[in-house]
Every structure is written in structure tokens, then in C-alpha cells.
Structure 1
Amino acid sequence: MRRLWPLTVRGTGALVIAIVCFVVANEAGIVELMYFGILLLAVLGASIASLYLTRRTDTVTRSLTPDVATVGRDAVVHVRVGVRTALPTAPGKWRDTIPSGLTARAHGIFPALGSGLRGAERIVEFSYTATGARRGIHALGPLSVTSTDPFGIARRSTVFGERTRVTVAPAVIDLPALSNFAGEAGGTLHTTTNQLGQGADNLIARPYVPGDSMRRIHWRASAHRDSLMVRQEEQESTPEATVVLDRGVLRYSPEAMQAPGADPGFEAAVSACVSVVSRLVHDGYAVEVIDTDGTLLAERIDGGDMTEVEGLIGQFAGVTARRDDHLARLTRVFSGIMTGPVVLIVGRFDPADAEAIAPVAHHSTLPIVLSFAPVGDSLGRAADAGWHTAVLDPEGDLAATWSAATDRGVTHAGR
């Protein structure tokens, strides 16, 4: 904000001395004090004029690296200030306004600028590190610069530049791979064997083409045909997985519907959602993210396409809870189909919910429930129906929770 009083402590003292000189000169008839007071006022006026006539800022732009900040991770903010000035300017101090969704030490020294009589724009660049603190879309800025004259008598505080919208995406946790479920859950690039009979001699072979792995060369067929042949037993498939995020506000708190980042339980659910998607896509699954009524929350992401995962993470920066509760409809979404892993991420989860979603477990090769606030023996009932279950703790280790949920020997992980 602009300071209404343009003088520093030194300048204020000089003004007080000048007034005292005028009073004493009038009472005591000392003309020299009158001259000295006038000189002080002239110095004060010149100092103020030097600040308000020498600097004019035209442009302020900001950019982030990476473009989207993430909760708990650092991003570098680059600030570029274009300044037009006819006279040399003294150094000052800059400070950028940081929103509640970020934490940073955004202040420093604004350099002195030389004379620019030709009117050329001078560029001042600086940067600082900001850490994502709260998911959502936040406004970074404005930028303020406080400068003083060479004598330290007057100061000028200006606020300029448009605010920059900054996206803070949910935290993404690196989760363990589903290595124990390669056969049952679909696998990363799961292998099927096409055999005409028993034994390796009956495997289908085809001519070698550049790019084939040397480990797949069928040496007996190659010797028989006098040319390199490779085994045809490996067929890559794209298994499918579904991540279901329950956004019903009644399962969290009213704050979850008001703004991103307001409810810790919902934040844990959103972070778990994007982390699970990242893990499954990395493992080769084609993943769909839906609400409990089947509404798509993101377009289908093909296995291995981590660029689309980054886009989804940014998209989920603004996701909030909704008023409707459709968990009971989840059975209809999977009715009549068979799919790979189904991961349900939910807030409050009671025994009635466990009974309602019990049939879904039979339509998935790996059904998982992650609940933020399970009620009674709801997770136990879900486990009896075939679900792998775990408690989602906002302050806990999501990777450990994921391991507990996917471990065949553990169906329930406590807080």
C-alpha cells in the first residue's frame, strides 16, 4: 500500500528542525536561522521531487517454473519489471504480495538505475522460491517498491503491476507399484501365451524386424529358416482401471464445498485420487476418473501418458465437493461390465455404504476402498464383500496406506 507520509525518520527530523528554526528566528531575531530553515525545506522538496520525477514503471510480468505449483513442493517465481526513467535512481526494496495458498520470502533489493535519456526501457529481473501451501487458484501480487533519495530524507512506496493467477495443484505422492497383481489385476504389459501345442517348439515365430529385443529371438526357428525369427508369444495389452472420487459434501465438511483447500479430509481424498491415477498410468493402465454417479471428472488417460497426468493434476486444483450424494448409484455404473482395478476414495463411510457397493467388487479384478472417516465396522463389511480397504489419514503416510490396501494379507489399515 502507498505510504501517506513521504518522509523518513531523518526527513521528519529535518522538517521539525526547520520549523524550530523559523520559530526561534522570529522570536529571537536571528536571521541566519531563517536561512537555515529555508535551506532544509529546499532539501526536503528536492528529495521528494527526485523520487516522484525519476521513475515510471510500465510493465510487471511474472512466470512460474514449473507452470503449476504443487502443494508441498517448490516453484520458482520469475519477476520481470520494465522501467522507464529519465534520471538516475537510487536503489530501493521490493516486496511481492504472497497469497495464502503459497509461502515465500518475496522481498529483496531493487537495483539503482542509470540515466535513460533516450527513453529506452530498462529491465529489472529477480526471482524467488514459493512453496505450495493450499490447493486452488490464487492471485500473486501486486508488487511494491519502496525507494529513498540519496540522502535518506524522503521515501516513495509504490504498488504496481497486475496480479498473476497461480494454480496450486494437489500434492502427488509416489505410491508403490501393483507388482503383486500383474496377473490378476491386468498387469502393466501383461503377457498371454499363444501355443499350438505343448512345448516351445510349437510357439508362433515371425521374421525379425529392427527394434525387436534380442531376448525374443527363436534360435531353432532361425536355424531352420536361415534367417532371424522372433517369438510371437508376447502380446501387449492395455488394461483398464477406474478411480472413483466421492465428492458428496455430507461425507466431509461444509467447507469442502466452499473453496479448494478448506477441508483437510477432502484434500486428503483429492491428493489420494491424483496420486493413484499417477501410479496406475505409470504402470500402464488406461485410467478413467469418475464421480460416484459415473460422471467423468477427467478424460480417459492412456497407459504411460504422464503428460496427460500432469494436465489432470492441474485440473484438480479447483475441484470442490458437491451437495448431492450418489454413492449408492455406483453399482449401476459397473453393472454388466468387468474391469481392472477400481479404487473408490470416499470420506465418511458407514455400514450401509458397504452393503450398497458390495456388488461392485465382483466386477473388478482389484477393488479398493480408501475411506477418510469409516463408521463402525463398515470397512470390515466391505472387506467381507471382496474389497481391499484402508483408512485414509490426512496426516498419515499415503504410500503406506496404499501398500496396506493392496497387500493381500491386510484388508484394513488403521490410523
Structure 2
Amino acid sequence: MNATTTTAASDPRWSGPGADRKSMRQHWRELSWRKLLWSLLYPPRGQRIMPTISGFLLIIVALGIGSAAYNTSNNILFITLSLLLACLIGSGVLSALNLAKVAWRMVPSPPYRVGQTGTVTIELRNRKKLLPTHGLWFEVRTKAEPKGRRLVLRERLDAGGGTARLEWSWQPTTRGHEVVELTAVGSLFPFGFLRKVLACEIRTEVLVWPAPVEYQRFAVLVASRRQSGHAVNKIGQSGDLLAVRRYVSGDSHRQIHWKASARLRQLMVRQFSTEQQEGYSLRLDTAGDVWTRPEQFELACSFVATLAEDLFTTGRLGTVTIDHELPQPIRGVRDLEAFFDRLAELTPRESTGRPSQAPFPSVSVGPGAAARLTLTFAPEGARGVAAFVDGQKAAAA
């Protein structure tokens, strides 16, 4: 199933130095040499240029050579010192140019489900006309992984509108709302002596569906058809004979009624009714006095989602109901995913004194269709959850 499950969709706008061309032009027009030098000495908030380990070693070597050159007045040592300082300053300038006019945005790839691997994509583009971009890295994190991870751009981002994509794979650990953040963007280009870091605050909120669980079925749920097959007045390939009609191009030759064709002197085909499998309606009561253990309630949400998915796959899921709401029919994948979204946000409700097992109305799907069987859920023991049909245990997780 592929459907968007983000509650707050990712911002389609780009972020970074190359996000808005108008703001960049205005910035360069207002920038003077005095402001440029001041910004190099005192970078704006969120922008840092820090030396790496190799950069610290280079600074220590430069200080040693500078002290020796001053004490000995050796021109070769002064030339060596100037080369080291030029290399250090050039590394900082090129690191800043490496990030100039580069834009990025974070795009989630739902659906996300507990225990299953999901992806988040970082899209990049380079608006520089001459210089490509190398060696960028991005720090991403979630509430489940506060330390985060670092994604490194291994390929070159060409000038003149070059684009690239970085994918981060992660596994959600809890259902509900999850926040994915892009916290920092940095560059080690070209020599790795200085690290240019830009602080980011790109946040995307997504919904995480309950985890699929294993469960055991019993005889009540295993039986998928009535003993004689429940016939529905719907055209199909099996069941009772409804009528005979004229042959249309594309009809199977096996359905030709030869006696009727000979009598009417034109090809006639049989028209059958279909045998319908029994349908089920799921009902989950979230009363707090029923679900006193949080781990059992989490298991119940996962059990309901797994059972709903299995019944939908076999074409036996009719409606779903949470608490005292009206039954919601499940006609397609979108309806099922909307139900999963509800399960992702579900919490035990406060008891109102009403019966926890309120009457559930039978729902018919059309003329001649049987009323659907209702599956209700309740705790079983200290850890388990069971599904019941008319008081009989149908499945347990």
C-alpha cells in the first residue's frame, strides 16, 4: 500500500543559501567589504567554521614554524609559514564557496510502520554557474534516535542546476506522531582542515502505523464460506444460473449455452451468480477501564491493524468502528489507510459509564447480502489480546 501518511507534509520550499534567488541578489547588493570582513570574524548565528583534527595539527605546526622563523629570521621558514596559512585560509574560503547557492529539502516517503524500514529523502540542487559542490554532509535525527546519523554526499553536485538525492533508512520504534529533523549541513571540502557548518531547523511530522503482529486463528474465523455457499445476485463465473443472454465478443466459449443457441439460432451465454465469502466488521472499544495496561493496548492496536489488513486482502472486510462512532465502510486501499491513521493516533479514552460493548448494528452490502459478523476485541490474561465473534474466540495475539 502506497499512500501519504504525513500529518504535516514536508515543506515543498527549498532551504539553504540557494533557496531563494531574490533574497540572494538582495543580500549581495547590501553586502559591503566591511560587512564581509566582519562576518568572517564573527559569523552569523548558526554558521560556524571549526578546525578538524588535521586542522588543529596544521595550526600547531604553523605556530611552531612561525616561532622558529621569528627566532632564526630564516626566509625559507617564513615562506613555509605563509604557505601553511594560505592553505588554512584557502580551505575556509573554499568551504564557504562549496555551500554557496546550494539548496536542499527533506521529503518523506510514507507509509511508515513500526518495525519496518522507511526512507527519508534529501534532495539537493546547485545553482552555482561555475563551481561544483563536493563533500557535503547532513545530520538527521528522530525522536526515537536523538543522536541522529550523518549522511555524506559521495558524488559531485555539478554546477548549473545539478541535482542529487540522499536516502536515509530508519525503523520507527513507536506508533503515532514521529518528527524527522534535519539539524545541520556541513562541508569538509577541499582539504578537510576546516569544517563549515550551517544550522538547520527543517522538521517533518509523519504518522507511524502500528506494527504487524502474529496471531492465531480459531475455527470461527477460519471458515470463510457458508457450507452451501451464499449466493448473491451478481454476475460472476460460479454459483446459480441467473439468466441467458446474447453472446458478446470477448465472452468465454465455455459459457455458451448450446441448447438455447440452437433453439434461438444465435449464440447465447450463461449468466451466473457469484458465491460471496462471509464478511466481517471490526469494532474496537478504547475504554480505559478495559485497557488498563499500556502494553496490551499497543498490542490491541497492532492486532486490529494486522487483522484488518488480512481480511481486506481476502475481500472479507466490511466496516470498522472505533468506540461509539458510526461504522466506516472499507471500500478500497485509501479507506484502509485512513483507518490505520486513526489507529496510529489512538489512545485509551476515559470511561463514561456506558457499556463497553455497545450493540453493533449489522451492515448489509446490498440486496441479498448477509449481515456481516462483528469482531470485538478484549484483553486476554496479563499480556494477550483476543478477538470474539458472538462471544466465541475467533483469534488471539
| Mapping for residues 72-151 of structure 1, pairs under 5 Å | 72-85=115-128, 88=131, 91-100=134-143, 107-113=151-157, 116=159, 120-142=160-182, 144-151=184-191
Deviation at 1:161, TM superposition (A): 6.6
Deviation at 1:142, TM superposition (A): 0.3
State the shift of 1:245 in Å: 1.4
Which of 247, 269, 287 does residue 286 from structure 2 map onto?
Answer: 247
On the 8 A contact 1:102/1:130 being kept in 2, the answer is: no
Q: Provide the secondary structure at the position in 1 that maps to 2:192.
A: coil
Taking the TM superposition and a 5 Å limit, the aligned residue runs for 1:292-331 are 292=323, 294-296=324-326, 299-302=328-331, 305-324=332-351, 328-331=355-358
CA contact (8 A) 2:384 2:396 kept: yes
Say which SS state the counterpart of residue 60 (structure 1) adopts: strand
Secondary structure at the aligned position of 2:301 is classed as helix
SS at match of 2:163: strand
How far apart in 1 are the matches of 2:72 and 2:394? Answer: 94
Q: Please give the residue correspondences for 1:184-203 in structure 2 after superposition, counting only pairs within 5 Å.
A: 190-191=230-231
Percent of aligned pairs with the same amino acid:
22
Q: How does 1:398-413 map to 2 (within 5 A)?
A: none
Q: 1:218 to 1:279 in 2, by over 3 A?
A: farther
TM-score between both structures, scaled by the size of structure 2: 0.67
Say whether the 8 Å CA contact 1:278–1:306 is kept in structure 2: no
Whose helix proportion is higher, 1 or 2? 1
More strand by proportion, 1 or 2?
A: 2
What CA deviation, in whole Å up to 9, does each residue of 1:332-367 have, x standing for no partner?
3449999322111233679xxxxxxxxxxxxxxxxx
- Looking at structure 2, the residues matched to 220 and 47 of structure 1 have their Cα atoms a distance apart, in angstroms, of 91
Q: Does the CA contact (< 8 Å) of 1:238 and 1:286 recur in 2?
A: no
Alignment RMSD = 4.4
Q: CA deviation at 1:69?
A: 2.0
Distance 1:222 1:64, change over 3 A: farther
> Shift in Å at residue 107 of structure 1?
2.4
Residue from 171, 175, 182 that aligns with 2:225: 182
Query: Per the alignment, do residues 271 and 327 of structure 1 end up closer, same or farther by CA in structure 2, a change over 3 Å counting?
Result: farther
Q: Is the 8 A contact 2:187 2:195 kept in 1?
A: yes
Question: For the residues of structure 1 that align with 2:344 and 2:172, how far apart are their CA atoms?
Answer: 11
The letter of the residue matching 2:52 is T
Question: Using a 3 Å threshold, how does the CA distance of structure 1 residues 204 and 94 change in structure 2: closer, same or farther?
Answer: closer
Asked if structure 1 preserves the Cα contact closer than 8 Å seen for 2:101 and 2:126, the reply is: yes
Letter in 2 for 1:129: S
Determine the structure 2 residue equivalent to 1:410. Answer: none
Alignment partner of 1:266 is 2:297: yes
Residues 251, 348 of structure 1: 8 Å contact kept: no
C-alpha distance in 2, partners of 1:30/1:134? Answer: 67
User: Greater RCO between the two (CA within 8 Å, min separation 6)?
Assistant: 2
Say whether the 8 Å CA contact 2:308–2:317 is kept in structure 1: no
How far is 1:8 from its partner?
Answer: 1.8
Letter in 2 for 1:151: F
Secondary structure of 1:163 counterpart: strand
In structure 2, C-alpha distance between the alignment counterparts of 1:390 and 1:180, rounded to whole Å? 12
Question: What's the CA shift for 1:80?
Answer: 1.0
CA displacement at 1:192 relative to structure 2? 5.7
| Aligned positions, number | 338
- Amino acid aligned to 2:300: A
Whether the 8 Å CA contact 1:204–1:233 is kept in 2: the answer is yes
| One-letter amino acid matched to 2:210 | P
> Separation in 1 of the partners of 2:162 and 2:310?
47
Q: How far, CA to CA, are the matches of 1:3 and 1:164 in structure 2?
A: 22
Residues 48, 196 of structure 2: 8 Å contact kept: no
Gapped regions of structure 1 (runs ≥ 5):
194-199, 255-262, 351-370, 393-415
Paired residues of 1:10 and 1:152 also in contact (CA < 8 A)? yes
Matches within 5 A, 1:203-222: 205-208=243-246, 210=248, 216-222=255-261
- Alignment-mate amino acid for residue 182 of structure 1: R
Matches of 1:172 and 1:107 in 2, distance apart? 29
Cα deviation digits, residues 5-64 of structure 1 (max 9, x gap): 6112222122223333444455x3535445544443333222212212342255323334
Which deviates further from its counterpart, 265-274 or 167-176? 167-176
